[in-house]
Amino acid sequence: MKIIVANKSGFCFGVKRAVDESEKLVAENKVVTYGKLIHNDQEVERLKKNGIIPKDEITEIENQRVIIRTHGVPKRDHDLLLSRGNEIFDYTCPFVKKLQKYAEEYFQKGFTVLILGKADHPEIIGVKGWTEDQAKVIEGVEDLNKIAFSEEEKVCLLAQTTEKQKNFQEVSDLLLKIKKDAIIINTICKATQERQESVVDLASRTDVMVIIGGKDSSNTKKLFQISKNVNNNTYLIENAMDLDKKWFEAAAIAGVSAGASTPDWIIEEVIKEMEEMKETMGMAEAAESKKTPKKGSVVQGKVVEVEKEKAFIDVGGKTEGVLEISEASFRNIEDLTEVISVGDEFSVKIIDLENENGEMRVSKRRAEEKEAIDKLLKAKEDGEVISVEVYEAVKGGILVDVGIRGFIPASLVDVGYIEDLNQFVGKNIEVMVEEVDLENRKYILSRKAVIEKELEKVWDTLEEGKSIKGIVKKLVDFGAFIDLGGIEGLLHISEMGWGKVEKSSDVLTEGQEVEVFLLSVNKETNKIALSLKKMTPDPWTIVNNKYKVGDTVPGKVVRESDFGAFVELEPGLDGLVHISQISWQRVEKVNDALKIGDEIQVKILEIDPENKKINLSIKETLPKPERPKREENEAAAPKQKAEKRTSPRPPREDKKVQEAETETIMDDKGPTGINIGELFGDKLKDFMK
Ligand code: SF4
């Protein structure tokens, strides 16, 4: 028989420190401890023989050197011990001390202090004492539900150092629903958690488990319960005397673990006794032999025959093992022949050496369970990502195959809400292990954690002022959402181009790849502002490179006002055609001559990049009409004189325009044969008629 000791077992940091320091103290002079130094009678007895005397009554301790044990004491006891002339050596575990400090601090600040733990445990009695005994002790969500908090009440939640992590999580979740602003501080000691995880790992790999610890030690009792849930062949002992060799008869591997208050010398005695039992029983040979499978052991098997409801497995013994359909998998199987074939090899657990029919019973499901738990625990510890198959969508989440039934709550499937969970069924997905609850056989996984991990990497690549490629996810009235690799940024419509963009669909289409500029990145608010126009230079910064005064260039009328029309030369670059520059003729109203959308030729009169202004002219693109010749003037004189008699004198500008009103520019083509309709749009042409 092989004996394996759990890698986290026996004295924890706090207990070891208290015992070591007490032994140093007693070497100088006699000391007493207020209460038993640790929860292990044999160790307390040994220390007593060395001069470390436990005293249960505080009134018995006066003018002495007194040790305060790892659990700590209430403030009043501390003060009383001092007032009685004692010299105090405080070996309260630093983790417990921290818990006391939090309790005192929040109590002083006017909070209601809640402590999750056992009210009669010395540690909790001590902590309560730092809140003038006002802290409320609860054991779980049921107790919390019974408390009626007032609206203005401030609440702080703490935990006994040996409390179960899962219980603390449940209580925290509920408290946050009741009191959104509650202060929650996880004061659970890591040593306890490590010992529990280590025992689970060992119990799943061994045929029999021995847990050593004092009968009063709550952490030892918890270790025992946890181990028993994984391996039914678990025994709780205080010392080597409690061992029974029958436990090891069929065992190939035995595991040993011990509570945080169990000294090494007791663990060593137990192991020595087990070694001796093993020799007398010839168990060593049995452990090495694979020819005679033992009940509870996991062995390699080979399928020799398969029927619909059972299969026969060669496990190297004299008889073949029977694998019943219910023992093949944790999932429902209708027909064994559909999932296993003759010649397949896999691990099986021997669950019965001989049933009522004289057959050996084996279980593939239980062997896989051990392996699966090991895998999950390792993945959890290493923060590893594992691949699992989704086999069913149920109310509230999805079920996955991890060798055992794993569950992903809907809230842990993705970072956002997923309406139809059926889309995952039959697919392999990557997950991280959230919780391994061996006591209740609950294995919670999270796909969201994997996505969040990936998103972290994406956030790291996002830097303001840089560009990044993305895919247009959704177009909306005010812009577009761009997928930057799992994180979405907003490209506002005003950032889509240097010119005015009417609709985001004029620029982008959904699914299109686009390179965008990162205007701002705020991880805390989860907001990213993007720009497309910043991917090209502002046209006003390069206007002088592209345009010169005197150039005639095409443009489009984009806006009109009383004093003129704005003409877009290119997106983001609009110039003004003053009303006086529209035509050689007088123009009363801009829209008599131009309409929005007209594509026209304009001459650049002035460029002012600093003030983002360009002055343009339409009339300067046309030859200035000639003055009428002298004879024509004379011929027209009687008519003009007649008009002069009936009309008021036109203003100077009007006069110029009138000079331009000649027959020569009134046909479709201008005086030089230029097509006015093509150049200025029909409206200007109509106006000139
Ligand atoms: S279990 Fe943790 S809190 Fe308790 S004595 Fe040990 S180290 Fe300290």
| Mutate-to-test residue for ligand 1 from 38, 40, 93, 218, highest number of ligand atoms within 8 A of CB | 93
Helices (H) then strands (E): counts for the chain: 19, 32
195 falls in which pLDDT band (50, 70, 90)? confident
Report the atom number in ligand 1 closest to the C-alpha of 191.
Answer: 2
Range of the domain at 363: 298-368
| Mutate-to-test residue for ligand 1 from 9, 13, 43, 187, highest number of ligand atoms within 8 A of CB | 13
* Cα of 635 from ligand 1 centre, angstroms: 121
The CB of 14 under 6 Å from ligand 1? The reply is yes
> 121 near 139, Cβ under 8 Å?
no
Give yes or no: residues 109 and 183 share one domain.
yes
The CB of 15 under 6 Å from ligand 1? The reply is yes
Give yes or no: residues 182 and 195 share one domain.
no
* Cα of 245 from ligand 1 centre, angstroms: 33
Tens of pLDDT, residue by residue over 129-140, are 999 999 999 999
Give yes or no: residues 547 and 531 share one domain.
no
The CB of 12 under 6 Å from ligand 1? The reply is yes
- Select from 621, 639, 663 the last residue of a domain: 621
Amino acid at 560: E
- To 10 degrees, what angle do helices 94-108 and 13-28 make? 100
110 in a structural domain: yes
**Is the pLDDT reported for residue 672 higher than 80?**
no
In 87-154, DSSP assigns E strands to 87-90, 112-116, 136-138
Strand partners, 309: none
* Cα of 595 from ligand 1 centre, angstroms: 85
Taking the whole predicted model, whether its pTM rises above 0.85 is answered as no
Give residue 403's region: left, alpha or beta (phi > 0; psi -120 to 50): left
Q: What's 205's domain CATH number? A: 3.40.1010.20
163 in a structural domain: yes
Give yes or no: residues 204 and 269 share one domain.
yes
Tens of pLDDT, residue by residue over 298-348, are 888 999 999 999 999 998 766 789 999 999 998 888 999 999 999 999 989
Report the atom number in ligand 1 closest to the C-alpha of 15.
Answer: 5
Residues designated catalytic: 123
**Is the pLDDT reported for residue 458 higher than 70?**
yes
The CB of 92 under 6 Å from ligand 1? The reply is no
153 in a structural domain: yes
The CB of 95 under 6 Å from ligand 1? The reply is yes
The CB of 189 under 6 Å from ligand 1? The reply is yes
Token look-up 């559909």 returns: 338
Q: How far is residue 295's CA from residue 123's CA, in Å, rounded to a whole number? A: 42
The CB of 237 under 6 Å from ligand 1? The reply is no
- State the total domains in the chain: 6
Give yes or no: residues 262 and 333 share one domain.
no
* Cα of 39 from ligand 1 centre, angstroms: 12
* Cα of 101 from ligand 1 centre, angstroms: 16
pLDDT at 478: 95
524 in a structural domain: yes
Give yes or no: residues 427 and 444 share one domain.
yes
Q: Are strands 298-306 and 345-352 parallel, antiparallel or unpaired?
A: antiparallel
Q: What's 553's domain CATH number? A: 2.40.50.140
Tens of pLDDT, residue by residue over 210-260, are 999 987 787 888 889 889 988 889 999 999 999 998 888 777 788 999 999
Question: Could you report how far apart the first and last alpha carbons of the chain are, in Å?
Answer: 114
Distance of CA 613 to the CA centre of its chain: 51
Residue nearest to atom 7 of ligand 1 (CA): 14
Token look-up 């279980």 returns: 363
The CB of 260 under 6 Å from ligand 1? The reply is yes
The 10 Å Cβ neighbour count of residue 114 is 25
pLDDT at 656: 41
* Cα of 581 from ligand 1 centre, angstroms: 90
Report the atom number in ligand 1 closest to the C-alpha of 94.
Answer: 8
Report the atom number in ligand 1 closest to the C-alpha of 161.
Answer: 3
- Select from 319, 337, 368 the last residue of a domain: 368
pLDDT at 651: 40
Could you tell me where the DSSP H helices lie in 211-341?
218-230, 264-281, 283-288
The 10 Å Cβ neighbour count of residue 200 is 25
* Cα of 223 from ligand 1 centre, angstroms: 14
Tens of pLDDT, residue by residue over 124-172, are 999 999 999 999 999 999 999 999 999 899 999 999 998 888 899 999 9
